[in-house]
Chain A
């Protein structure tokens, strides 16, 4: 049990809270005094076979620990489902202070083989799912002049990971959404920040070792290479940072991304313009001029993340 409860009297909606990261967040927030709407569709990793079980289990475990929670089994990809989740918080607990949205699916495929359905389903769950919830909770939080929104991005979006065009686009899209929402809502006392998690979960375990080995052999940089490999990366490690970001102590932290991998926690730098070349006068650059200056200026220290094999 926590030394001091940081979320006493608050209400949190946590999606994907039937398992792994979401479950860890829901349980720790409940320990810190928050009442929780535990959302989980209870599907397989590819989004199929819904079952209410996982959400109900988390609710039961929170109850056993003396916390308050209610289950919701809607899909975040469904706007009406998102509406019902927000309504569940208001109807059951009378308010809504915190949204945490780790719900997600995977449909990995190399871009040249990816089907429309694989693209659409991942964009719908991750990116539209974030919009469905954020747009609705923002109406409540703007009125009450306080709130915390914690989104879930990914190393696949921030750094890029082969075979995940859909997931990478959705997850970097969530980073962009987070930056805009922070600017739309900050003035109303609401913050929006993103977690970039690295953890052993269903999702990461679905990447076969053979795929990892193939990437390494071909010299394709894997996104998760930023984390020291010898450190354990349990799903539960994501929860404490999420709780702190949801607390009053993080009121000035807004529009940021935090990478969390086990015991490693880091602020992720925002993209900024670096080395710059400017052509004096009114004439445009020519292609040859850019080619001449590029290697020693803009291209300095640049590397191809997936170079073609040399013949």
Chain B
């Protein structure tokens, strides 16, 4: 046990298993009191059990830390409020929020149902908002706080078969950037982790699907970093750093974490620009200028195949 987070209270969602369990245990080992939230569902969101949240609480207690379980379903706005209130009631405050919860419903866009879309957006994107929104009010009042969201390479780079998950995770990226700007001046920071790790989520992608993508020349999102090699517990130290007083001025950033490596993700910038100072380009002007100066070297990530 060390004490970089002594006296602080944290909420960690999806903390029953995978990355969230590792984060909850590390925050507790650094002295934070932790609300371990997990609905305990299967990967597709079905059949809830309280067992997983309880398991993490027991592990933390056995190591001498402080934790309580929450089985709240963050797809409810009011449950987000309740989760924040639970932390304040149990431990007298709320300093750190980490949102690791998630589900998957992979399907190619042309076969994806409204229900598959809605379920993933509700859990990842709205679920993150519901917790962050209520934590934000409390943290603004106390003039300090740390919010750490979870995005994904699927959202930031793109991965076939995950329109719902990619939209949700990129949406969490946008939410993170706005929340950083809404709360920074109150001493609150909001940053995002882009993890690569072998968890239930990544192992559900079948070898068959991977092989099919490779065969068709469809670019994978993780630039050769195979999630299968990386321990989910490796993600926790960077979360702990962002939650600590050391990181008080780190805000609105994205950190790609895989194994023992941490990268800062580039912020979008304007590259390859054409400017016309009077009016705007006509289609005819663009037909010449665009291929020459803007789009000429672009590579289609999923080139057309002969039918």
Question: Interface residues, chain A, CB within 8 Å of chain B?
Answer: 2-4, 6, 28, 32, 79, 110-114, 116, 119-120, 123, 127-128, 130-132, 134-135, 138-139, 142, 145, 156-166, 168-177, 179-189, 191, 218-221, 226, 231-232, 234, 236-237, 240-241, 243-244, 249-259, 262-281, 284-291, 294, 298-299, 302, 304-309
Task: Tell me the minimal C-beta distance from A229 to chain B in angstroms.
Answer: 13
Q: Which of B171, B180, B233, B281 has a CB less than 8 Å from the CB of A176?
A: B171
Between-chain CB contacts (< 8 Å), 29 pairs: A4-B284, A113-B137, A123-B126, A128-B121, A131-B167, A135-B110, A135-B117, A160-B181, A165-B129, A169-B129, A169-B174, A173-B167, A176-B155, A179-B158, A179-B166, A180-B163, A186-B302, A257-B268, A265-B275, A268-B269, A276-B263, A277-B261, A278-B261, A284-B234, A287-B30, A291-B241, A302-B250, A302-B253, A304-B251
B214: interface (CB < 8 Å)? no
Which A-chain residue is minimally distant from B302 (CB atoms)? Answer: A186
Which of B133, B244, B255, B268 has the most C-beta atoms of chain A within 10 angstroms of its own C-beta? B268
Which of A166, A168, A289 has the most C-beta atoms of chain B within 10 angstroms of its own C-beta? A168
Q: A176-B167, A302-B250 are in contact. Are A169 and B178 (CB under 8 A)?
A: yes
Interfacial chain A residues near B236, Cβ < 8 Å = 284
CB pair A186–B178 under 8 Å, yes or no, is no
Q: A252-B298, A262-B280, A271-B265 are in contact. Are A162 and B181 (CB under 8 A)?
A: yes
In Å, the complex CA distance between A130 and B114 comes to 12
Which A-chain residue is minimally distant from B255 (CB atoms)? Answer: A298
Interfacial chain B residues near A4, Cβ < 8 Å = 284
Which of B110, B140, B246 has the most C-beta atoms of chain A within 10 angstroms of its own C-beta? B110
CB pair B280–A237 under 8 Å, yes or no, is yes
Q: Which of A177, A243, A267 has a CB less than 8 Å from the CB of B294?
A: A267
Please count the residue pairs between chain A and chain B whose beta carbons lie under 8 angstroms apart in the complex.
Answer: 405
Which of A113, A132, A173, A219 has the most C-beta atoms of chain B within 10 angstroms of its own C-beta? A173
Interfacial chain A residues near B182, Cβ < 8 Å = 110-112, 162-163, 165, 306
In Å, the complex CA distance between A165 and B143 comes to 20
CB pair B219–A156 under 8 Å, yes or no, is no
Chain B contributes a number of interface residues (CB within 8 A of A) equal to: 119
CB pair A240–B251 under 8 Å, yes or no, is no
CB pair B277–A263 under 8 Å, yes or no, is yes
Q: A226-B270, A287-B241 are in contact. Are A170 and B174 (CB under 8 A)?
A: yes
Interfacial residues of chain B within 59-94, with CB under 8 A of chain A in the complex: 77
CB pair B295–A276 under 8 Å, yes or no, is no
CB pair A220–B185 under 8 Å, yes or no, is yes
In Å, the complex CA distance between A139 and B171 comes to 24
In Å, the complex CA distance between A235 and B121 comes to 31
CB pair B283–A28 under 8 Å, yes or no, is yes
Interfacial chain A residues near B129, Cβ < 8 Å = 119, 165-166, 169
CB pair A111–B133 under 8 Å, yes or no, is yes
Interfacial chain A residues near B154, Cβ < 8 Å = 176, 180
Interfacial residues of chain B within 236-272, with CB under 8 A of chain A in the complex: 236-238, 240-241, 244, 246-247, 249-256, 259-272
